[in-house]
């Protein structure tokens, strides 16, 4: 039987890798719906190749004049999108929208009991308590696409939770961690976009350079695996071969490894619990391979300290942390602020919005807005 997918963010880096996985397993996976932001030409081309039942573009004009396959419905509102992802012809929703626009459709799909393959870490960072509570209630499974979390998910497997001691997230360190001679107030946008091991969208690539991506992933791991910050360690592993590790109470560590290619975690989530052949390169041990591990430089890169503070604070602090970072990254990309100010702006915004409440979705969205307004001029 085929698994029917709704892919949110289908034209991005994760979205296009997802469609490659669908092509490799067309007897198992099919596409019911595709969602993108403004790239109507790319979305329409995907629709012609994968024949979904529906399409949604956040900027509806983007699809004007595009040639679409017959019987493909173009949705015209968020409400229609929510109804479509919750409908009977969707088995799993893969969310890879950059930012927080995927929150509402994902939350509603969870309430409807759909399985979620989650790449958009922002959703858990912003609203982890609501999302995990909704999943516990409906029985929906949240399968982590993020490579580190997918690695942990694979290593944990069927082991009982009381045997788990801690998890160890690996981080490439981005282009700057291994270069202490660089002045971080002077590095350029192009230098920050030159990631040494992974090819990804623009926002997450900048987040890797600040280590904010690992900060977001610490918070994401806390929600996915139900752990406090002091049971999650981060280690710099520049080769990005070990995707993360789990330590059990006997001090045995299990790691998941492979070349950096998101097709593997995407496919694992889409075919879970089965493993199928995957269109990624197999490890080649006929060539020598060195793996190294160093502790993160928290003085030069404050992102992890800020993320740990966010986890201890709880409430709406995740939403504030994420929103402030999104604004600061955009300001850096517009060449309005130096690189080193990104984490400074996040820290300042967290201080200014420390009293924001996060008991329900409305409060979380308010905190997100407050943080954005503050961070634009911070
Ligand atoms: P990307 O920028 O390449 O793609 C983003 C996608 O979101 C595009 O399809 C875009 O059209 C769509 N989009 C943007 N705004 C939208 C809106 N308002 N409504 C609907 N669609 C919208 O980003 P990416 O690198 O593919 O990352 C996507 C998500 O996956 C991010 O949350 C990122 O943190 C996470 N992630 C990415 C990677 C990676 O290797 N790229 C790895 C782990 C996690
Ligand atoms: Mg990751």
User: How far apart are the CA of 330 and the centre of ligand 1, in A?
Assistant: 15
Nearest CA to ligand 1 atom 2: 201
User: How much is the pLDDT for 181?
Assistant: 95
User: How far apart are the CA of 167 and the centre of ligand 1, in A?
Assistant: 26
Residues 3-144: name the CATH superfamily: NAD(P)-binding Rossmann-like Domain (3.40.50.720)
Residues lining ligand 1, Cβ inside 6 A: 9-15, 35-37, 39, 58, 96-99, 101, 119-122, 146, 198, 200-201, 204, 262
Q: What is the mean pLDDT of the chain?
A: 97
The residue-averaged pLDDT of 58-62 equals 91
Residue 308 and residue 229 in contact, taking contact as beta carbons nearer than 8 Å? yes
State the residue for tokens 């963010």: 9
User: How far apart are the CA of 217 and the centre of ligand 2, in A?
Assistant: 7
Nearest CA to 259 out of 242, 285, 241, 275 is that of 241
Residue 294 and residue 168 in contact, taking contact as beta carbons nearer than 8 Å? no
Confidence of residue 28 (pLDDT cuts 50, 70, 90): very high
Nearest CA to ligand 1 atom 39: 200
User: How far apart are the CA of 146 and the centre of ligand 2, in A?
Assistant: 5
- Ligand number nearest to the C-alpha of 207: 1
Helix (H), strand (E), coil (C) string for 193-211:
CCCCCCCCCHHHHHHHHHC
- % of the chain exceeding 90 in pLDDT: 96
Question: Best of 55, 82, 200, 266 to mutate for ligand 1, by most ligand atoms within 8 A of CB?
Answer: 200
**Domain boundary assignment for the chain:** 3-144, 158-259+296-313
Nearest CA to ligand 1 atom 23: 201
The residue-averaged pLDDT of 258-277 equals 97
Nearest CA to ligand 1 atom 36: 119
User: How much is the pLDDT for 195?
Assistant: 87
Q: Decide if pLDDT at 1 tops 90.
A: no
| Beta-carbon count within 10 A of 64 CB | 9
Question: Best of 6, 8, 9 to mutate for ligand 1, by most ligand atoms within 8 A of CB?
Answer: 9
- Single pTM value for the model: 0.97
Confidence of residue 19 (pLDDT cuts 50, 70, 90): very high
Q: How far apart are CA 258 and CA 151, in angstroms?
A: 10
User: How much is the pLDDT for 33?
Assistant: 98
For residue 201, the ligand 1 atom closest to its alpha carbon is 25
> What are the tens digits of pLDDT across the range 300-348?
999 999 999 999 999 999 999 999 999 999 999 999 999 999 999 999 9
User: How far apart are the CA of 339 and the centre of ligand 1, in A?
Assistant: 22
User: How far apart are the CA of 99 and the centre of ligand 1, in A?
Assistant: 7
Residue 128 and residue 222 in contact, taking contact as beta carbons nearer than 8 Å? yes
């Amino acid at each position: 039987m085929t698994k029917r997918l709704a892919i949110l963010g289908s034209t991005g880096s994760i979205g296009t890798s997802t469609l490659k996985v669908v092509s490799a397993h067309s007897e198992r996976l099919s596409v019911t719906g595709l969602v993108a932001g403004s790239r109507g030409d790319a979305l329409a081309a995907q629709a012609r190749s994968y024949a979904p039942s529906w399409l949604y573009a956040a900027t509806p004009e983007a699809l004007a004049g595009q040639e679409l396959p017959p019987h493909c419905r173009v949705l015209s509102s968020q409400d229609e999108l929510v109804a479509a992802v919750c409908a009977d012809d969707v088995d799993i929703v893969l969310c890879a929208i950059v930012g927080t626009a995927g929150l509402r459709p994902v939350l509603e799909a969870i309430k409807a009991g759909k399985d979620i393959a989650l790449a958009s870490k922002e959703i858990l960072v912003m609203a982890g308590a609501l999302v995990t509570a909704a999943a516990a209630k409906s029985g929906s499974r949240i399968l982590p696409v993020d490579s580190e979390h997918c690695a942990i998910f694979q290593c944990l497997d069927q082991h009982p939770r009381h045997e788990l001691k801690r998890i160890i997230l690996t981080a490439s360190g981005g282009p700057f961690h291994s270069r202490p001679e660089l002045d971080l107030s002077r590095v350029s946008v192009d230098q920050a976009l030159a990631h040494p091991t992974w090819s990804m969208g623009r926002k997450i690539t900048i987040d890797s350079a600040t280590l904010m991506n690992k900060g977001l992933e610490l918070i994401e791991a806390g929600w996915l695996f139900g752990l406090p910050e002091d049971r999650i360690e981060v280690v710099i592993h520049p080769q990005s071969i070990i995707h993360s590790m789990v330590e059990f109470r006997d001090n045995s560590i299990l790691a998941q490894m492979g070349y950096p290619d998101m097709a593997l975690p995407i496919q694992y989530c889409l075919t879970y619990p089965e493993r199928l052949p995957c269109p990624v390169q197999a490890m080649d041990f006929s060539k020598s391979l060195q793996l190294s591990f160093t502790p993160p430089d928290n003085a030069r890169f404050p992102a992890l300290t800020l993320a740990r503070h966010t986890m201890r604070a709880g409430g709406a602090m995740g939403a504030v942390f994420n929103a402030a970072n999104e604004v600061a990254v955009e300001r850096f990309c517009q060449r309005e602020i130096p690189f080193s100010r990104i984490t400074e702006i996040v820290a300042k915004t967290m201080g200014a919005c420390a009293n924001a409440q996060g008991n329900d979705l409305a409060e979380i969205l308010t905190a997100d807005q407050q943080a954005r307004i503050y961070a634009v001029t911070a």
